[in-house]
A and B are shown apart, each in its own frame.
Chain A
C-alpha cells in the first residue's frame, strides 16, 4: 500500500483526508485505484494529473514503479512556457 497525498482542493472527494492509502505497484494502477476508491477524483484525473514519486515529478508515465514506502503526491498536469 502506498500513501498518496491529495492536494487541498481535492480533499473534499477523499472525505477530507490529506493522505489516502492505495494498493498499486505502478502509476496507472495507482490512478485507477484512486478513482475507484474516490470517484469524485475522476474528472481531475481525466483532465490530466502529474504524479510526484519520491520527489520526482512524472507526466503521463503509466508504468513508473511505486514502492510501498514511496512518497506519492497527486499534482495537476504540469504546463510551462
Chain B
C-alpha cells in the first residue's frame, strides 16, 4: 500500500483509561436504582436429575421476597436456539448439569434472597450422567437430549453427537503412501474458562410492557433479540445498554442471567439486579470445549508434509452447539497441502453449555497438529521453523478448508521468528524451546456508526459494538486519520440498542475491521458535506474545494484565494449553512482477511516437582496494519498468557458424581504475574487488501499457538512428551517417571 499515516501507528492514551483507574467506569454490577431488588438463583447439585417436585411456596412467603420464578413463568419459545438458551437459563423438567438453574428469587436484599433459596423444596430423581467426550459418544451412553443427533453422525456413535463436519481435499491415503515417516498421536485437552475478571451481571427494569436492561455483554443487540424472544416481547420493547465490560473473551456472547432478571422484574414490578458469584460463573456459564483428538501426519525425510488427517471430538455441554467445525477448518490452515482431511464431532455431555472462547475451536485442534509436527521434526532431526516455512501457506494457496488465500503474513511471521535473537539464544539444563504457528479466520458482519460534528468541531462517534479490547481508541484513531484531525478531537461512545442501528456482536476479531470501515465511510460523508457547505460559503463550484488535513481548501488559485476552513469553523456555522453536520454508515462489510501468528517459548521443567517455568516468550503476529500498536501488543500478550494457563494449569475437574470440583480461582489456577516473564511481541504488517487501512483482526489468533508451543517446549525440556493438557506438575512428573 505504501500509504503514510499520521495517526495510525501511534499510541495515544486510551480514552477509557482515566475512568477505569479512578473507579468511575460503570461495570455490570455498578448500576443501582431506587427500589431495586436483588435476584438469586437456585442451582442443581446434581449432574443429571429429573425434577420430581419443586415447591417455592415457603420462599415466596418469606418477608421481603417480591417474586419467585421457575420454568413455569416462561412461555414456550418457538425458535429452537432461543428455546435451548431459555432451558439453559432455567431448567425445564430435568437439570442437566451441576449448577443448572431451576428457580430464582427477587428480594429486598441479597441476604433475604439467599434465605429464600434455602426455603425452596426440590425432590430430584437422579439420572445417569456423562461428562467425558469419548464416553458420551459411545453407544449406550446416557443421552442428554433425545432426537438431537446429527443426521451425518453415523450409527456407531450415541445420540449425543449433534454435529459432524469434514473438510479437506486430495487423497490422504495416497499422500501417506508418499511419506518417509507417518506419525499418529491422540490428544486430550480440558475445558477452560474464559476467566474474565468481572462476573456476569445485569439490572433489568420492566416499566409496563417495556423494559430496560443494563448488562455486561459483548453484544447488546444479541442480548436484546434473545431476551425479547424468550420474554415474548418485540425487540423494540426492550432497550439494552452495554455496561463497561471487565473481560469477555467470547464468554459474554450469549445470556445466562438476563432472561431470569427480566422475568423477575416483570413479576415483581420492580427493577432487579443480578450478579453471579465466581462459583456460579464456573458452574453455570460456558467454558470452552474439552476435546479428544487424533492427528496423523506424513512427512518426507526433508520435511515436506505429504498428507494430514485429524479427527476432533469436542465436548460442548448439555445443549446442541456447533463449534467443532471451526477446529476442523483451522487445524491445517497454516499449511499448503495436497492431501488433507479434518473431521469433527460436536458432542453433548452433562456439563454447562459451552460458549466461545477466543478463536473458538482452533487452539486445541492446532495444538494437536503442531505437536505432531514437532515430534516429526524431532524424529527426523529437522529445524521446526524450517519445516513450517517449507510447508507454509502463502498467497494463492488453496487452504485446507477451501478458499484460496489472498495476501497473508504467515511466512513473514516465520521468517521474523527465525531471525529473532530468541530463536538462537542458548538454553540451559532442563530447558527446552518450542514453537507453534497459529491461525484465525476473522470475519466482518453487520455494523452501524453515526458520526455527529458538534458546534466546536469535536467528532462524536457512536457505534454499536461493546469495547472489549480497545476499539474505542482504534475507531477514534481511524476517524481522526480519515478526517485529518487530532485524535483528541474524536470522542467514541457505545450506543444502546435504541440509540443506533443494529450491530453484530463483538466477536470473531471483527470490530476494528468492520467498525473501522463504517467509520471511514461516515467520515467521508462528513468531509463531503463540509466541502459542499464551504463551496456555498465561498460561492464557488463544489468541485473547486477539497479536504486536506482537517480543513476545506480551494483546489488551487483558479478556485479563488480563500483561507482554509477547519472542521471547527465549518461546524460553528452549521446552523446557518444547512443544519447539523453528520455522517453515518450502516452495512455489512466483509473481506476481513485471515490472521496468522507464530510463538516461540522457552520453558524449564523441574525434574523433582514437574513444575514448568516459562523463561522467555516471544509472539509474532500479522496485524495487517496495527492501528494502536500498544493495544495490538496487549492482545498478543493477553492471548499468550491465557494460552499459558490453558497449557499448564487450567481445567474443569469433575468428580465421578459429575459435580465440578474446582469452581473458584483458588482451585482453578489461572496464571498470575509472578508466573510470567515479559511477553515480547513482534508485530508484522502484511496489509489486508479488504480494508482501506489494511486492518486485520488481532484479538483471537494469539491464543492459538501457546498450547502447542509450550507442549513442544516441555517435551524438549523434560525429554518426554505429554499428549494431554493441562501439563500440570503431577502429570509432568508422572510422565517423566514413566519415561
Residues on A close to B: CB < 8 A?
A: 5, 7-9, 12, 18, 43, 47, 50, 52, 54-61, 64, 71, 73-76, 78-81
Judged by a CB distance under 8 angstroms, whether B304 is at the interface is no
Q: Which residues of B contact A64 (CB under 8 A)?
A: 590
Task: Tell me the nearest residue of chain B to A48, going by C-beta.
Answer: B322
Judged by a CB distance under 8 angstroms, whether B509 is at the interface is yes
Q: Which residues of A contact B151 (CB under 8 A)?
A: 43
Sampled A-B contacts (8; CB under 8 Å): A55-B403, A58-B590, A75-B403, A78-B326, A79-B323, A80-B443, A80-B510, A81-B356
Task: Tell me the nearest residue of chain B to A8, going by C-beta.
Answer: B166
Query: Does A79 contact B326, Cβ atoms closer than 8 Å?
Result: yes
Interface 9-mer from B256-264, B357-365, B479-487, B571-579: B357-365
Query: Does A59 contact B444, Cβ atoms closer than 8 Å?
Result: yes
For the complex, give the distance between the alpha carbons of A81 and B254 in Å: 11
Q: Which residues of A contact B510 (CB under 8 A)?
A: 80
Report which of B253, B322, B444, B590 forms a contact with A81, defined as CB distance below 8 A.
B253
Q: Which residues of A contact B168 (CB under 8 A)?
A: 8
With contacts A7-B167, A9-B166, A78-B443 known, is A73 near B507, CB below 8 A? no
Interface size grouping (class) on chain B: 35 or more
Query: Does B152 contact A81, Cβ atoms closer than 8 Å?
Result: no
Q: Which residues of B contact A8 (CB under 8 A)?
A: 165-168, 341, 343
Query: Does B507 contact A56, Cβ atoms closer than 8 Å?
Result: no
Task: Tell me the nearest residue of chain A to B509, going by C-beta.
Answer: A80
Task: Tell me the nearest residue of chain A to B395, going by C-beta.
Answer: A55
Q: Which residues of B contact A12 (CB under 8 A)?
A: 152
Query: Does B341 contact A76, Cβ atoms closer than 8 Å?
Result: no
Task: Tell me the nearest residue of chain B to A78, going by C-beta.
Answer: B443
Task: Tell me the nearest residue of chain B to A54, going by C-beta.
Answer: B404
With contacts A8-B341, A80-B507, A81-B359 known, is A71 near B323, CB below 8 A? no
The 5 A-B pairs at the shortest CB distance, nearest first, are namely A81-B250, A80-B508, A8-B166, A73-B402, A81-B356
B686 CB to nearest chain A CB (Å): 15
B542 CB to nearest chain A CB (Å): 31
Q: Which residues of A contact B591 (CB under 8 A)?
A: 56
Task: Tell me the nearest residue of chain B to A77, going by C-beta.
Answer: B322
For the complex, give the distance between the alpha carbons of A76 and B403 in Å: 13
Query: Does B590 contact A75, Cβ atoms closer than 8 Å?
Result: no
For the complex, give the distance between the alpha carbons of A71 and B345 in Å: 27
A69 CB to nearest chain B CB (Å): 13
Chain A contact surface mostly: mixed
Query: Does B360 contact A81, Cβ atoms closer than 8 Å?
Result: yes
Query: Does B402 contact A78, Cβ atoms closer than 8 Å?
Result: no
Report which of A58, A74, A76 forms a contact with B325, defined as CB distance below 8 A.
A76
Query: Does B443 contact A59, Cβ atoms closer than 8 Å?
Result: yes
For the complex, give the distance between the alpha carbons of A19 and B507 in Å: 31
Query: Does B323 contact A52, Cβ atoms closer than 8 Å?
Result: no
Query: Does A52 contact B165, Cβ atoms closer than 8 Å?
Result: no
For the complex, give the distance between the alpha carbons of A50 and B441 in Å: 12
B446 CB to nearest chain A CB (Å): 8
Per-residue A-contact encoding for B345-368, CB less than 8 Å = 1, 0 else: 000000000001111100000000
Task: Tell me the nearest residue of chain B to A57, going by C-beta.
Answer: B443
Per-residue A-contact encoding for B588-615, CB less than 8 Å = 1, 0 else: 1011100000000000000000000000
B274 CB to nearest chain A CB (Å): 24
For the complex, give the distance between the alpha carbons of A18 and B8 in Å: 44
B189 CB to nearest chain A CB (Å): 16
Judged by a CB distance under 8 angstroms, whether B246 is at the interface is no
Task: Tell me the nearest residue of chain A to B396, going by C-beta.
Answer: A55
> B428-484: which residues lie under 8 A (CB-CB) from chain A?
440-445
For the complex, give the distance between the alpha carbons of A9 and B153 in Å: 10
A4 CB to nearest chain B CB (Å): 10
Task: Tell me the nearest residue of chain A to B249, going by C-beta.
Answer: A81
Query: Does A75 contact B165, Cβ atoms closer than 8 Å?
Result: no
With contacts A5-B402, A9-B152, A61-B590 known, is A79 near B356, CB below 8 A? yes
Q: Which residues of B contact A47 (CB under 8 A)?
A: 322
B333 CB to nearest chain A CB (Å): 12
Q: Which residues of A contact B592 (CB under 8 A)?
A: 57
Query: Does A18 contact B403, Cβ atoms closer than 8 Å?
Result: no
**20 extra interchain contacts, Cβ-Cβ under 8 A, other than A9-B166, A78-B443, A80-B250?**
A7-B165, A7-B401, A8-B168, A9-B343, A55-B404, A56-B406, A56-B690, A57-B443, A58-B444, A59-B443, A61-B588, A71-B404, A73-B403, A79-B322, A79-B323, A79-B507, A80-B440, A80-B508, A81-B194, A81-B253
For the complex, give the distance between the alpha carbons of A59 and B166 in Å: 20
Q: Which residues of B contact A71 (CB under 8 A)?
A: 403-404
For the complex, give the distance between the alpha carbons of A52 and B329 in Å: 13
Judged by a CB distance under 8 angstroms, whether B423 is at the interface is no
Q: Which residues of A contact B509 (CB under 8 A)?
A: 80
